[in-house]
Amino acid sequence: MARAYDLRSILFVLVAFVGAVVVLRDLRYDFAFVGDMRAAELSRRTQEVTATMTSTVMQTEKTMVTETIQVASDPPPAEKANAAFVILTRNKDLKDLRETLVQLEDRFNRRYKYPYVFLNNEPFSDTFKEKIQGMVSGECQFGLIPEEHWSYPEYIDQTRAAEARKDMQDRKVIYGGNESYRHMCRYESGFFFRHPLMDQYKWYWRVEPGVKFGCEIDYDPFLFMERNNKKYGFTISIKEVIETIPTLWNTTMDFMDKHKEMIPAANLMDFVTDKKGDYNRCHFWSNFEIGSLDFLRSDQYMAYFDHLDRAGGFFYERWGDAPVHSLGVSMFLNKNEVHWFEDIGYFHGPLWNCPKGEANKKCWCSEEESIEIKNPAWSCTLNFKDLPAPKL
């Protein structure tokens, strides 16, 4: 009996041991499963958090990038004028021009996206085109000036022209010995608006390399001109150096005598004459102009330019496009059709036009630097401002 009991006891212990092993195995499996599940859950949650963080970062980055792009490429206003910037420049002007365009885009054109027409008497380089196209918001067109627009007409005595340059250089007249400058003045006076790239436009804004724009321009000057029946806009007006234009006034009076029918009774001749009726040398500084191309293309202005061109003063003297434009404007337009953009901060060395008073809050230029304040004897702007509006 004792032996049988011992065997039963041993068998019971063995069964219990086997059972315990099974239970422990199952428990180990269960714990391993739970551990795996917990590890899997932790991994899943980690992935979710990582994905969420990544998504958030990506969304933030996407939003930031989108906002940056929107600032640089806001859709243009629904209403725009048929207008373009026109810039006579050369490859060597690239640095100065880019500095100017950065300001012009930032102050104005990034919101309006008006196109640019670049003109040169030599082909533009690929580098020039790439550097310019990469920094402006409007379409860019690059034009080569026809040779006949940048050369001597057959009726010009080139020997006499060379002698005139030598004489003016000896007398230290500004740009007196510069041949290319004369071609430029003639081109700006009578040809830039005839370039085929300009044919599609009705308004132009002239820009030169190196000029500065000192204020936010928070409206469209082109539409202002169009809606208010303006034909010509300026920022600075000064007196011309008489040594460059000794016969320009007499040549202009000769034109007026021969074409009285072209001169309207309401004109702006009081701007360019003193109380005695003599020429006062006042002119709108044409390195900044916003104007009507239809005016420059008109029969009246073209007849005036042809008269001057035949007289030869662009080469025998050093007639500038600023007095030529200004005399044309004064003959054929009245004060209501001409506008002083007093609120556009503009610098062409060494002169500033800087807004005054409340308007100066959107500028970085000092109003005391404005030419009509700093040097009123040289400026003609206040003379223009004081002229009475015509009774039409």
Nearest-angstrom CA–CA distance, 207 and 211? 8
Beta strands 346-348; 351-353: pairing state: antiparallel
Nearest-angstrom CA–CA distance, 150 and 120? 10
Provide the greatest CA pair distance for the chain. 157
Residues 243, 284 contacting (CB under 8 angstroms):
no
The answer for 357, left when phi > 0, alpha when psi is -120 to 50, beta otherwise, is left
- Dihedral angle of Cα 44, 45, 51, 57, to the nearest 10 degrees: -160
Write down how long the chain is: 392
Nearest-angstrom CA–CA distance, 227 and 84? 17
Q: 370 phi and psi, to 5 degrees? A: -60, 135
Among the listed residues 260, 264, 253, 262, the one whose alpha carbon sits nearest the alpha carbon of residue 391: 264
Helix axis angle, 321-332 relative to 299-311, nearest 10°? 140
The answer for 376, left when phi > 0, alpha when psi is -120 to 50, beta otherwise, is alpha
Q: Is 289 designated active site?
A: yes
End-to-end CA distance of the chain: 145
- Dihedral angle of Cα 145, 147, 152, 158, to the nearest 10 degrees: 120
Nearest-angstrom CA–CA distance, 69 and 61? 12
The catalytic residue among 188, 240, 289, 317 is 289
| R_g of the chain, CA atoms, integer Å | 38
- Any idea which residues carry the catalytic annotation? 289
